[in-house]
Amino acid sequence: MASEAETIGVGIVGLSAGGGWAGRGHLPALEAVPGFRLAALSASSAASAAAAGERYGVPLAFGSAAELAACPDVDLVVVSVQAARHAPAVAAAIDAGKHVYCEWPLAVTAAEASELVAAARDRGVRGFVGLQARSAPVIRYVRDLVKAGWVGEVLSTTLVASGMSWGKESDSRTSYLLDRDGGSTMLSIPFGHVVDAVQLCLGEFTEVGAVLANRRPYVRDSASGEFVPKTADDQVAVHGVLETGAVAVVHFRGGRSRGTNFRWEINGSDGDLVLEGPHGHLQLAPVMLHGTRRGEGELTAMPVPAEYHRVSLSREQPGNPSANLANAYAALLGDLRENTAEIPDFAHGVRHHRLIEAILRADATGQRASL
C-alpha cells in the first residue's frame, strides 16, 4: 500500500512515438492526477521505445513488457496494447511482482483471464481492469440517482449506439479490428464498456438472448481502395433480464449512423433518465443527461454535480477523451493508498468476459443463456 507522501511510478506498455491511445489517453490522464509519475515505457522494439522515450521525455524505455516490469522504478504497469497482446504483458507484470492496470478486455477469453486472476493472487499483487466508463462523473451520478429511487422502480432500459469502427471502411492501422477471434471486436470493446456501465447503474444480467451479424463481410481499405475480408460482427443486439427484474435491450451498429449514435433510456415507475452522446464509446465520450419524473412533463437537462468530478480535467474539459480515464486514475490512486476497491479488479474482468461469452453462446444456440 502506497502512502500519501509517495508517488507511484508508472510504466506504460504500448506507448509509442506514433501516438495511439496510450499517448492520447493515458498520458494526459496521468498528468491530471498528482501522485503518479511516468517512470518508464515499452514499445514493440528497442528502437521504437527509444523514439517514444525521446518524444515524451521518458529516459527509461524498453523493447519488451518484461524488461519494463523488471524496472525497479516501476510500481504500476499499465497495459495499453491490442487485446490479443494483453495477457502476455499482464503476466510479465505479475511475474515481476508489480501491480497492473490493463485496458479492457483483460484477455481474449474468460479462461485466459481466469489464469491471470490466479497468478495475481499467488504473487500477491493487485490487478485492475480499465473499464473507465463506470468512472465517468455522469455514470456515477446516474448510479446514485437510481439507487436513491429518483426514477422509482426501474422497469426497463433501452440503449442504441454506434461503434464508429466496424463500418464500411477500414485502414491498415486498425485492421486487427476486423478479426472476430482477435479480441478487439465491437462486442468486446464499446459494447463491453457500455454494458459494464449499465450493470453498475442498474444491476447485473441474469440471462441474455442475442443476435449477432456480420452484415459487411468485406470492407474497403481506405488507402488502397481494395475490399478486404471482415469476420467481426457489425450488428450486436442483446436483450435480457437484470437481477432487479428490469428488462434490458442493447443494440450496437457498426460504423456511424445518420440518426442516433448513442441514446440510453432508463424507464422507471416514477421517472425517466436519458443519456445522449456522439458515439457508442462511452468510456471516452461526452454524454449529456436529461430526466423527468412524477408529472414534470418534458425532459430537462440535469447537470452533474461538481463533487462527481474527481479531477479538474473532467470538469473543465468534459469533451476530452481522457477525462473519464483521469477520473479512473484518481480512484485507482485511492485504491492503492487506502487499500480500497473501487476500480474493477481482475475477478470482475473474468465475470465480464463470461457475460460476453454468454452472449456469443446465446447467438450460436438461438436460446437464452443464463449467467
| pLDDT by residue, tens only, the chain of 371 residues | 455 558 999 999 999 998 899 999 999 999 999 999 999 999 999 999 999 999 999 999 999 999 999 999 999 999 999 999 999 999 999 999 999 999 999 999 999 999 999 999 999 999 999 999 999 999 999 999 999 999 999 999 999 999 999 999 999 889 999 999 999 999 999 999 999 999 999 999 999 999 999 999 999 999 999 999 999 999 999 999 999 999 999 999 999 999 999 999 999 999 999 999 999 999 999 999 999 998 788 999 999 999 999 999 988 998 899 999 999 999 999 999 999 999 999 999 999 999 999 999 999 999 999 99
pTM of the model: 0.96
Q: Is 263 exposed, middle or buried (0-12, 13-18, 19+ CB in 10 A)?
A: middle
pLDDT for position 106: 98
- Domains in the chain: ranges and CATH: 8-125 (3.40.50.720), 136-308+345-365 (3.30.360.10)
pLDDT for position 5: 59
Q: Closest Cα to residue 16, out of 40, 35, 44?
A: 44
Amino acid (1-letter code) at residue 313: L
Decide: 152 and 244 in contact? Cβ < 8 Å.
no
* 81: CB partners within 8 A, 6+ apart: 13, 14, 89, 103
Q: What angle do CA 189, 157, 153 make, to 5 degrees?
A: 135
Q: Is 219 exposed, middle or buried (0-12, 13-18, 19+ CB in 10 A)?
A: buried
Judged by phi (left if over 0) then psi (alpha if -120 to 50, else beta), residue 147 lies in alpha
Query: Beta-carbon neighbour count of residue 338 at 10 Å?
Result: 12
